[in-house]
Amino acid sequence: MSLSAPGGPINPDYTENFEDIEKQFAVKVVEHMEIYWSLLENFQGSKLKLTKYDDEILEHFQREFPDFDLKATINENDMKSKEGKEHWRKFIMAYEKRIEDYNFGAMIRANAATEYGQDEVIFAVRMQFYAIEIARNRAGLNDWVFEKKHGKQASS
């Protein structure tokens, strides 16, 4: 998303619509969240493929964040600390030219055992979402969403 005015960088004459841009951005983030939740309700997370690079993203995430506890609640302060941001930035930038909307906003559940909710989400970058959710899916930590909707017998 660019805040450039026609023909160049940000121009104060065009920033009056910033609120509209923020609203459109928020709508896209919420749509992404709703689509992902619907996918989890209709397919076991352990069988989902989120990108054509899932295997690579997972391996890279595990290599760069070996101590990331998928079952624990994500500490947003650690994730967004100066050190955390720098570590994630390096990870994210590896996908700049390969993953569409790699740096677009996304909502991540702070804990895989909870549904999306106002107090249960962290605003993050799309590549953070992919890394964490691919890892959670592969670990079977999101299968409960499908099982809750369809009953335990659906998981067999």
pLDDT, residue 59, reads: 98
Q: How far is CA 95 from the centre of its chain?
A: 14
Query: In 66-134, which ranges are E strands?
Result: 105-109, 121-125
Q: What is the dihedral sign for C-alpha 132, 135, 141, 143?
A: positive
pLDDT, residue 34, reads: 94
In a domain, 16, yes or no: no
In a domain, 107, yes or no: yes
pLDDT at residue 156 tops 90: no
Q: Cβ distance 80 to 108 under 8 Å?
A: no
In a domain, 109, yes or no: yes
Q: Total structural domains in the chain?
A: 1
In a domain, 21, yes or no: no
C-alpha pair distances (Å), 22 with each of 95, 109, 126: 24, 21, 17
Which tens digit of pLDDT belongs to each residue from 4-44? Answer: 444 445 555 555 566 666 677 777 888 889 999 999 999 99
In a domain, 6, yes or no: no
Structural domain boundaries enclosing 131: 26-152
In a domain, 147, yes or no: yes
Q: What CATH number is attached to the domain comprising 94?
A: 1.10.3560.10
